[in-house]
Amino acid sequence: MAGITGDMYRDIERTLLSEAELRETVAQLGRQISADYAEKNLLLVSVLKGSVVFMADLMRAVTIPCRIDFMAVSSYGAGTKSSGAVKILKDLDMPLAGVDLLLVEDILDSGKTLRYILELLSAGKPGSVKICTLLDKPVRRQVPLQADYVGAVVPDEFVVGYGLDYNERYRNLPIIGILKSEIYKTREGLSL
């Protein structure tokens, strides 16, 4: 990759979204959310760890008053596919009753984890619940679920960067890239 250095980039097959494309995508989402939630009680909820970079940029792109909270769940472990079993590692600190909740996610693929989170959060009686995902991978969907705000639709490839990881690596890449398959095939003996 011209102009890019670092060991992590050697593991990237190709860039899907550049830094500039990510900035514009987040800015567009921020404008739309700001318009849609004007005069509402907006609470952005980030699902850690993958969405932390997206959340940080998105909340700065939102131009109306909002609050933020975080939850951490685990469904992947060290693999490339969701296990389907969801474990809550950190729950929300704020009550949800009456708030307009916007769940901020890094990627929507199978939908299993997000469906579980939505059911859990809906029990808190928010005024509304919507989903904002940076990336959507609809080809992987296993449950009927659609995001209300989507940054980009991505192909059926394993993507990393901008918060997304493989085995806790690559989160700090400022791009979204496709991870070379030999990286995870050699460790897992499988492919996507």
Full set of structural domains in the chain with CATH: 20-154 (3.40.50.2020)
pLDDT tens-digit profile of 23-49? 999 999 999 999 999 999 999 999 888
Statement: residue 1 has pLDDT above 50: no
159 versus 89: the higher-pLDDT residue is: 159
Higher pLDDT, 38 or 81: 38
Give the whole-angstrom CA distance, residue 90 versus residue 175.
Answer: 27
Alpha helices in the chain (DSSP H): 19-36, 52-61, 112-122, 181-188
- Give the residues across from 180 on adjacent strands: none
pLDDT-based confidence at residue 191 (cuts at 50, 70, 90): very low
Q: How confident is the model at residue 108 (pLDDT cuts 50, 70, 90)?
A: very high
Active site residues: 109
Which percentage of the chain shows pLDDT scores above 70?
88
- Asked whether the predicted pLDDT for residue 5 surpasses 80, the reply is no
Taking a C-beta distance cutoff of 8 angstroms, is the pair 106, 47 a contact?
yes
Does residue 126 carry a pLDDT above 80?
Answer: yes
What per-residue confidence (pLDDT) applies to 6? Answer: 63
The mean pLDDT value for 128-144 works out to: 95
Are 159 and 153 in contact by the 8 Å Cβ rule? The answer is: no
Which residue type does 25 have?
T
Residue ranges with strand state E in the chain:
12-17, 42-48, 67-74, 87-90, 100-108, 128-136, 149-153, 159-160, 176-179
Find the angle CA(186)-CA(187)-CA(192) to the nearest 5 degrees: 75
